[in-house]
Structure 1
Amino acid sequence: MCAVTHEDVRAAADRIGGHVLRTPVIEVADGLWLKLELLQHSGSFKVRGAFNRMLSAGELPESGVIAASGGNHGLAVAFAARALGARAEIFVPEVTSPVKVTGLAALGAHITQTGAIYSEAAEAAAKRAAESGALMVHAYDQPEVVAGQGTTGLELMEQTGGVDTVLAAVGGGGFAAGITVGTAGGGGPKIVAVEPERIPTLHAARRAGEPVPVEVSGVAADALGASRIGGLAFEILSGDRVESVLVTDEAIVAARRTLWERHRVAAEHSGAAAYAALLSGVYTPAPGERVAVVVCGSNTDPATLTTD
């Protein structure tokens, strides 16, 4: 039995309902919806998992909470910690964008920038958590986090009346895994798990039959920069409902620009990755297929929306 169930996602929705936004869905063409999760508190879906992890833990330790992040998860943990009156300590790698570091500081987080990539920051965070006794809020590989992210899928199905396919970006995989579980009622839609070609954590794991390390680089590395798919995510995203596809950095940049120019949606590169699969033809819907694309992050410098 999977460590995260549809009932867990529904329980998470009840638990976090008063703390997160019900983000809008817009139909941009006949049978094509965008779920604007980039309008969530702290600029991404990550706050859902952060709140569910903290609220599930009961009374938080005096030392607060700790997390490692490419930026978005850290922002979410800092936001949730501030809302719950807890101290937040966030470890981020050197590739984290200045926009995200500035946002962390504004939320009152204690920031340590260390390591070239996410996995190195995660090692430092785990060591610090063991020393301090702070509650670790993992970016993607905890059941409470995956269940929290899955509430996005619950909302999406309610708002659209049901779709045939959902496209979602993959880094460590907690988001796409949560959506897979959260939309599972009644069989559920196909999930198209979209990754940059230069960070193929899920694609490589499915090919190998187990999570394996990959190189991390490219335009979306600050948010989709996990070097290995999470164990929970691999278990969930290895199922028959999931199709794994890869997109180029060029396609991500073009999708981000198109989201802005066509819909005035200001996404970061990771937030545009799922849309890139559709625009580039990596995923082509069948005639009459009802498709939803989750635009998952907005923590970007708006000055770069038309200059990349």
Structure 2
Amino acid sequence: MKWKSLIGAARERIGGHVRHTPVAEVRLPGIDLPVALKLEQMQHTGSFKARGAFNTLLSGPVPQAGIVAASGGNHGAAVAYAAHHLGHDAQIFVPEMAGPAKIALIERTGAKLTVVPGEYANALAMAREVEEASGAMQVHAYDAPATVAGQGTCMAEWEDQGLKADTVLIAVGGGGLIAGAMAWLAGRRRVVAVEPETSCALHAALETGAPVDVEVSGVAANALGARRIGEICFGLAMQQELASVLVSDAAIAEAQRWLWQEARQLVEPAGATALAALISGAYVPAPDERVAVLICGGNVAPDPLA
């Protein structure tokens, strides 16, 4: 697949619909060089997901039945937002674990929202039933070329902003964001996957040699709680011999606190997961290694200003 051209086309397509999010540098204890951050929690609806949502909806005709999507919360909010701004009806399915802040965010878009018992996989099953029965267009959260190409625009944008890193750390749920990064970079920089110990579909797949179902739980499960890694992500990860590390819930919480106390960035657990690898020592850069971290989501629960 010609990912560079797909991501380049996605940039042109979504340029007037998404934000160019800022970058920053921070100093972390024990790390010699500044760490670059991409503040994607400042994207529309509080996560990078708006990129893939707009790219999908702008890539072709949308059926009269509208759009359907399953999500742990952030993808659903992004699809609902994109659908609203482009004039389409949307049905969003989220699991109960999405939490009140993300549920309220989706409700504010005017989309039809269904909260499903259980986890993301249950919401996806219901969304697929609606897709088959109604003819609505399914916008997959991570395992579709248009989604991955849209997410890849984040890394392309970061490089245009002067990224100098040797290594980029990215949190992984279903794999759409890191797949987009790998697709764009094509091995030019080292990419490291960071997952919670209790929601680690990619790590399990890399150990096993194929995508497998995993149990999901923990503080970041409503954003990183995919039961099985996407095929696109897994294929790219195998091609590029992707490095993978795991972090504890305690490390994620500490990274959240650090981002707020030291950088005044308020992020959700998933948004802090990649930085947790550095703060906890799960990933230790070499003395001269330039490291960057993608901060991916800011929908904190409960909403501090609700």
On whether the aligned pair clears a TM of 0.5, the verdict is yes
- 1:248-263 aligned at under 5 Å gives the runs 248-263=248-263
Secondary structure at the counterpart of residue 279 of structure 1:
helix
Q: Which residue of 1 aligns with 2:121?
A: 119
Identical residues among aligned pairs (%): 52
Match of 1:149 in 2: 151
Root-mean-square deviation (Å): 1.4
Structure 1: distance between partners of 2:226 and 2:55 = 21
Q: Structure 2: how far apart are the matches of 1:197 and 1:235?
A: 22
CA 1:80–1:188: 2 relative to 1, 3 Å? same
Contact 1:266 1:302 in 2 (8 A): no
Instruction: Please point out which of 53, 57, 79 is paired with 1:54.
Output: 57
Letter in 2 for 1:17: G
Report the CA distance between 1:233 and its aligned residue: 0.8
Paired position in structure 2 for 1:132: 134
- Residues 32 and 93 (structure 1), Cα distance of their counterparts in 2 relative to 1, 3 Å cut: same
Report the Cα distance in structure 2 between the residues aligned to 1:281 and 1:154, rounded to whole angstroms: 28
Q: Which runs of structure 2 are paired with 1:84-103 in the superposition (5 Å)?
A: 84-103=86-105
What residue number does 1:12 align with? 10
Displacement over 4 Å in runs of 4+: 302-305
Letter paired with 1:11: A
Query: C-alpha distance in 2, partners of 1:263/1:291?
Result: 17
Query: Aligned pair in 2 of structure 1 residues 194, 161: CA closer, same or farther (>3 Å)?
Result: closer
Name the residue aligned to 1:23. 21
**Partner in structure 2 of residue 163 of structure 1:** 165
* Secondary structure at 1:188 match in 2: coil
Rounded to whole Å, the distance in 1 between the matches of 2:131 and 2:139 is 10
Equivalent position of 2:288 in the other structure: 288
Shift of residue 239 of structure 1? 3.0
The 1-side partners of 2:209 and 2:174 are apart by: 16
| Amino acid of the structure 1 residue aligned with 2:197 | E
- Equivalent position amino acid for 1:262 in 2: E
Q: Which amino acid aligns with 1:286?
A: A
Deviation at 1:191, TM superposition (A): 0.4
Distance in 2, Cα, partners of 1:161 & 1:17: 20
Question: Is the 1:190–1:241 contact (alpha carbons within 8 Å) kept by the matching residues of 2?
Answer: no
Unmatched runs of 5 consecutive residues or more in structure 1? none
Residue matched to 1:230 = 230
Q: Deviations over 1:129-172 (max 9, x none)?
A: 11111110000000000010001110111213432011100000
- State the partner residue of 2:185: 183
- Shift, 1:8, TM fit: 1.0
The worse-fitting range, judged by mean Cα deviation, of 29-38 and 203-212 is 29-38
> What CA distance in whole angstroms lies between the structure 1 residues aligned with 2:239 and 2:169?
15
Q: After superposition, give the CA deviation of every residue in 1:222-254 in whole Å (9 maximum; x if it has no partner).
A: 000100000111001223352111000110011
Deviations 1:163-182 (A, max 9, x none): 20111000001111101112
**Which residue, out of 62, 80, 86, partners 2:82?**
80
Paired residue for 2:210? 210
Question: Which region of structure 1 is more displaced relative to structure 2, 101-110 or 232-241?
Answer: 232-241
**Cα distance in 1 between the residues matched to 2:116 and 2:110:** 18
Q: Is the 2:52–2:147 Cα contact (8 Å) retained in structure 1?
A: yes
1:238 counterpart SS class: helix
CA contact (8 A) 2:53 2:150 kept: yes
1:36 to 39, 42, 49: 39
Tell me by how many angstroms 1:302 deviates. 6.3
Q: 8 Å contact 1:31–1:288 — kept in the other structure? A: no
Is residue 189–residue 241 contact of structure 1 (8 Å, CA) maintained in 2? no
- Cα shift at 1:288: 2.0
Letter in 1 for 2:6: D
Residues 167-208 of structure 1: CA distance to partner in whole angstroms, max 9, x if unpaired? 100000111110111223xx4110010000001101100111
TM-score, normalized by length of structure 2? Answer: 0.95
- The one-letter code matched in structure 2 to 1:51 is F
Whole-angstrom CA distance in 2 between matches of 1:198 and 1:82 = 34
Check conservation: 1:4, 1:146, Cα contact below 8 A.
Answer: no
